Structure 1
Amino acid sequence: MSSAASGYFRRLGRRLTADIDHLDAEELAESAEASGACRASECRRGEEVSMLGRLRSVEACSKAVGAAIEAELFDGTDAITLVWIGRKRIPGIEPGRKILVRGRVGERDGRKVIFNPYYELRGNS
């Protein structure tokens, strides 16, 4: 059997037996790297970054002072919180959506956050 064929069967066997969440994380990390985006696990506070990932959760927070939308973006390596201040809803920003974001990494409660990021909606796959 050729090495190309054995490599194909090895990958196929791995895909059939691996955890689906693990495979999804690997695919996200690979597509983010291919696009030239920064990995969430490697970004640091104060850096201007571009990240490609999938929204895990989206929550509208309507506080007395002002509204905000918070979303968790996962790129296959780590998660980062996105916060759009002064917004109650953004069309297309929903769980499961793949997006590209750009902004400066900050920190809130010990977690990475980007406030009011620029974003581009991508396909859901």
Structure 2
Amino acid sequence: MKPLRILVVEDNAVIGMLLSLTLKAMGHEVCAVETTEDGAVATALRCSPDLLIVDMTLGHGSGASAVATILQTRHIPHILMSGAPVQADGQRRVVLRKPFVEAELAQAIERAVRASTGA
């Protein structure tokens, strides 16, 4: 898989930093780590990421709402992260359950990119 520009949206500073370091070690570029819904939307417009990795529940706003807003401007493959079980809502989306290991992260990235191309 080619290296991707990834926007991480995670309000827990330690998780955001560890995820960023893991992604960089996997060969990807992290264009930013945002902690709020508004910050995620603004940064997605500014840095044009190839992939979003977004915590569903943020201290200020909603990760799911941020993704919905971003997708109104252009389609970007995305992964939603959650520490809680996620109910199926009929949408085809990639959800990564926290805590996860690098292999699960790599699989989620592949699924998100593949789903965005319709493969």
Q: Same fold (TM over 0.5)?
A: no
* Structure with greater proportional strand content: 1
TM range (shorter): under 0.3
* Structure with greater proportional helix content: 2
Calculate the TM-score normalised by the size of structure 1.
0.24
Calculate the TM-score normalised by the size of structure 2.
0.24
